[in-house]
Structure 1
């Protein structure tokens, strides 16, 4: 073994290969050396023994001469020796980090997330489709620790560039859910998606459903049936508020007279309100089951699963409705030669049905004051003394309007070209 020498570039360049590996040592940094292989490959290394540890010295391979300059290698050797004098084995830490990175691949974590978390959610299929389509193909082989905010933005923006800004919002939401799950599992400490803005502004307050969306919503509600599906259907048929429909009582309904009277105590604006039931609404109500209580009496609640309280599981049921609507939209996209993966259900609330129905009534030629009367608006287009009599004054007009809307629903459900139904967005807005 050659005597230690102070390494210089000239010295390193002049080292010759031998039949076996030979190691040359530096005098400037203790333990710093360069190994010359029989193939003339020169590799920088450092031997060290962490403070407080016994046994043989540990070898840390820095890298190949050429990839590392002498100055860079010497600085790395100093760093390792300093850490070793503190009792730290930098090499062991780096090897552990490499193993951790290899075990935290994004594709593997996405699969775990979908199996352990998203599968328990009603929107799990949609989340799976989004992550497998837009995240894992680009970054699946990368470690989650190497995923940057710029990477997430690139995924979201690529969806926007496909002409789907609303779907880009859904994609960002799915990635956020996944990354937040990673935080909850102590896999990462912070989310690269934090602070990224949505690609499109979504205003639910002004939301109305298009003709296709209306058809899909009603058709999907019919698949779900009682009680939630029937509630959605009746919302479309009556344009009343969700709370008023969900809490409907049989004692409030006169099917022979086709009238449902919402008492003042249950009406949002505190005014008793007669809802003139269309032929569609009467047929629906006649088809509903009557809940029988343990004493063999019938519950007065129209929509209930217990007989004692109104139906209340709206959040999960609405998600299920959106899923069914999405399935219908994908089928239509395929039939029209479009990519079903580009389709999404824009966010909407059940309250948007009121706005949608009212605007459709205007398309049918129903006057605004008749629509106000149907909605039981507290401050409508008619005021003063005449407003006192408004509840009964437009009885026939209201009944006629809702029957016209009943016929219109039938046309929308069919939605055949021969019916002349166009998929127009409904762009008028009403107040609550």
Structure 2
């Protein structure tokens, strides 16, 4: 750290020492230095100690014609006067910056966007880890649909506990269950962020999302499709895939693209979540091997998930490709407005709701397709192990009765062979159901002989 009486000529010619940054301290004004980076960038800095004797520094600006030696010394003397008067210039600068940021937070929507940005960048990690993209997307969706239209334009200070409870009760009374609790969680998390980051600390004094429990009671959903509902549902999907215009019992026409029919079929066959199905990418697929690898960031459990693909599923995926010829996208089901991103997951729920209203199936969602298949697997029709069923569904923490720590940290198996056999048994059973046949599929987890397929795995069911 060389000390010398700086001159304008020296400042103009000063360079780094041996490719390292060097600070040249001015003997005329205590605390003033010119830092030169390895690339030759020159920055003025003022160093001092605050009242607690803690070393502090404040960056004054880049060396230039408008901020030369004379101007830098003038500014450094002003800062030295503040320090001598017991003022911490760096702290004052941080406070001013915070106030400027707070002025940008005029509405709850501004606060929510600041919260989402901090989560996405990894700045806000209350649980010690960066929030997964899937979780953040779910929060954004809940906010967009249920919170922003009602609270988005209000100043954060005007959103009281009574306002939050009123909005959540409106949602619950309109028949919205789980999303009500998710909206509650999102509001609570946003205000926790604001308080921890001291955004408007003189105004946001408490968290209006805290101090009361869940508005919507948690009721496990048990809906599964019966055999006759599967037949009606599948017949409608077949007609939509043929691009036929279906008419409801009231004579109303059903307008839905064949891609949506394929998505709902794949939800039924593979028993994966709707978001995982519509988010399917060609880079995740190996159709020649009959394997789909879903990356951890797209899985609810945050772990890599292998899904065996039957020839039936592969045929549907290839059919989906035929509807997007000429579209440059890695997405199997690209968004019509922006092919670089997948179709929205909530469009699957909307499409199935519209279809069901017109074919007479009540209270059934895309997730009920997954539950129906999972229930059939462990029923007396197939008698598949609950552990293997959980592996098919991608439930990361189902131990099958073993120790949780063993499953989480010591079991790295994908159970591909058993999962392929289980999905084959379910898809065979589903084929019998939709064709109106009585034959029951048999589960052969370790089949041998002529039915044995790739890598010794059981053969896959053919398309119907």
TM-score range, shorter chain: 0.3 to 0.5
The structure with the largest alpha-carbon Rg is 1
Taking structure 1 as the reference length, the TM-score comes to: 0.43
